[in-house]
Structure 1
């Protein structure tokens, strides 16, 4: 049916029965006359020779031109879409004929309007002016006629013969009034625009749109309203706005307007009868023309253009109108009007506000950075204090135990001392008794001689040693002598520095043992070195100082492939075998994808397999980097591959027939506990990074847990919740002494009888009314937000992985024994970071303790 979108949308709202009836009615429609029937008559009206041809007069018949146009409008509106397409397409070209006839009648109407205006003036002013106007009008009419008949017959400069011919032509052909024909032509165009195909044809026909715009000069307000509806519909289509403005520019030129839209606004302001349909259509058209533009500057331009025509003042008068439709259109226009002054003020205010916002955002950003820094420092401090507190508690326990032990020892010593004192007193009393007995005995014994004759004289006292000799005198102060003059600097060695003429000497080419990587720098030419810092530098003398052999060993490319110095590229090509002898293909026990991946990984390692196996057995991460360890973990032979290689060896097949990748995996598979050793190397290499990654998260959990534990208000809130829970459950389940915090989610599920309130809402209301001091309990919960971003399960899993890896390291250390302990394992276990481990262990305990 080719309906426009609005009509199609309306049709979709009908029920299926009504849709079927409409389809049946559409199929029953049969065209009464073909399009050529109407178009031949319209072309006859435009033919100036038709009035002299009896055949063409019989073709027109007794019907007026207005009746022909009405029949055409009904056919366009009711016939099938194929009839409309036949009307528009070749050879009929009905739109061109219709537009030409409309243009012709518009010229006639404007001529009649000028004649009527002239008759109202004095007869003295009618004359030559009327003749010139008539001549111009007739010329314009002749230009718009499709057949150009009037121009071919020659329009005379005098008025009377032309007017007589035109009047006779119209009378003989029985043409209707120009106003009626124009109105029906507009209705025909509306019928064409009711389907998509016709609408597109009208949009592409600029003359048709110009004629529609010129029809605004019609006296009938109903016709003006119809014209404005069509123009508004075109304006809403993409690209239609420019077409409408172009049509009004043409109207301005034809009607001699000083300002665009002047004629339309004159009809809008100065009406003889208030025609609500025209007023609404006019206001709607202005709304669409002004406010359907995306460019804001152009919209303001159009707004100013209508304001210059006095639209703003007139709308103030119409704001009190009783018509709701007109009031809606007026309100829509005023609501979308741009007040440039207000916008300018808002822009200045906005600029100042944006500057202030930018300043505040900068301050907020700095404050946020300071807050994050302080928060991080506080987290570290809290974690450190927690560890110190834990250590102090342990130390306190140890001191208490030591004190108790000391007290016991002191008590024991006191008892021992008391026993010893008692024994000493007893011994003293015994000795005193013995002394008294001895004194008594000495008094009773006779006195003996003063000296014995045999007693020898006492030996003379030993001679005193001689005093030490005096120290030797200090050596004389050395005489300060002047240093000999400095020897002259020897001349530079040959081949070094600058030549006598200032040119740079040619440097020798360094021959390397292995192929080395290339340094992508931009080298200076010899003539560019002069005047730079490199002018006085000599790098050749460093060759005897720097150990470049070690440098080559560390930076060589390939696996121990010495360079064949002196060989050219041609010599290198000669080393390849001849293509005539095809090398036998090697055997592989791997899948194609696995083989390719092993080859890529082997090239990345750039190490012989013997060196790799040695590094794995010694767990040497200096020789085998962490990246290479990860590559080797992906290269570990699977159980199926190990079984296949074992069977290959058992069958005593030749290993040399295997590919290099298979040989590589075969030798790797012979390493004992290969996966475990690689896992240990990866664990040791990533240990410190993993610990440093987990530590801040654990510190956040510790700090948040401490704030939760120390929050007095949170404890009271949990106490209130426990009271409500026991109140609900004590009759059925008995009283509870606590609950898991996961149970807080169930507070929402417990509903009231009317289902309007849950237990959580009631508890909040109770706290608000009974315990208002607890409303800001979240102020005591510090670092909760940061801890909430940490997954406790992931932290516990990571800690378990670290513990599992450490257990694997210790087990490997025990398996190796004292005689073959690995230096890497011994150093790792010796330098094991106790502080970080304590934090990790404390985080795991806090996590498991507060979940």
Structure 2
């Protein structure tokens, strides 16, 4: 059909109901001048066996060759219309939710009354919460029942809402069930985060090697500045970033590289100072305020559960939950106070303000410094290896003896492999440290760490 006036296309009568292809169709005025103006799909349909296509793509199970009109007619005869008093959209969403739950309405109501956590998943409970009936809806349904009208004439959704709404203290029960279901996961998520803040704070504060490194930085800074600015007695931690930005006259190395060389030469015992610092990167991911808020929320949830038990003191589920988890919550609260105190203490110790400095600001200052220091260390070692290789090559006189020629460059390579293997071995934990801190560190190494957003980052080293 190539002329500009379009002949209208007839609707195609299919034998079966077909699924919709959700495309964006062009309007007739958009087709003019395009490739579609030159196409004839009706001719293609005439050439193909579309019956086979229908057999493969018809929606769901349909009768062998049912005439759609007959099917529709039968359906309209079969289904007597049922009465619905609740909002149509709410009823539709409730029907979907109940299908997902896969439980009968009476089983759902019984499970809620008995606080049966095994039968009701958290996701399902959270969905059900949206269908708690309003006073108005309950009034309509109860009046319908009082008028003696048959409940069978109500839709399944209306009948469910009526039974659901009759459960005493429905909201409190659902909230209690949701809290109890979420509690173990909340503890699993919060405990490692508290532990990482405690371990990072205590290990940074107690590291004598780190203290000595900062002393060296202060000495270099004062040597550079004192004639113009006078001597400083300390510096803000963010100043550590400047060590990487300050370059030598020939711009071949940074101040950090130079200082790292000095540490290796004059203070070799400080070279592995970063092994003193534990879980700094993990602690940097923690929002301490967020954790404290979550713990307060758990306290409120436990209070609510205890109140519910006072009303429903014959419930073995509530009794067991309170008995098992109260102590665990107390321990978590205690650890949150320890984490807070340890964090405030270390932040103040390094001259920062704990009120305005979050862990996400404080710990990365050490994280960046350690990362840059390790990089400098690596580059210095690589440079040293290269110099060794070059000096071996220079010393070596050309000789037809191939074995002799191979020996020189191969040796440093073997040294490098041995060196890398050595560096892969974890540094021994220092003795004489706080036993509780060691326990926390061991625990953190064995616990999969969940960030505040719930994701589990790839495994990494402990610094």
Larger radius of gyration: 1
Which structure exhibits the higher relative contact order, with contacts defined as CA atoms closer than 8 Å and separated by 6 or more residues? 2
Length-normalised TM-score, structure 2: 0.43
Length-normalised TM-score, structure 1: 0.26
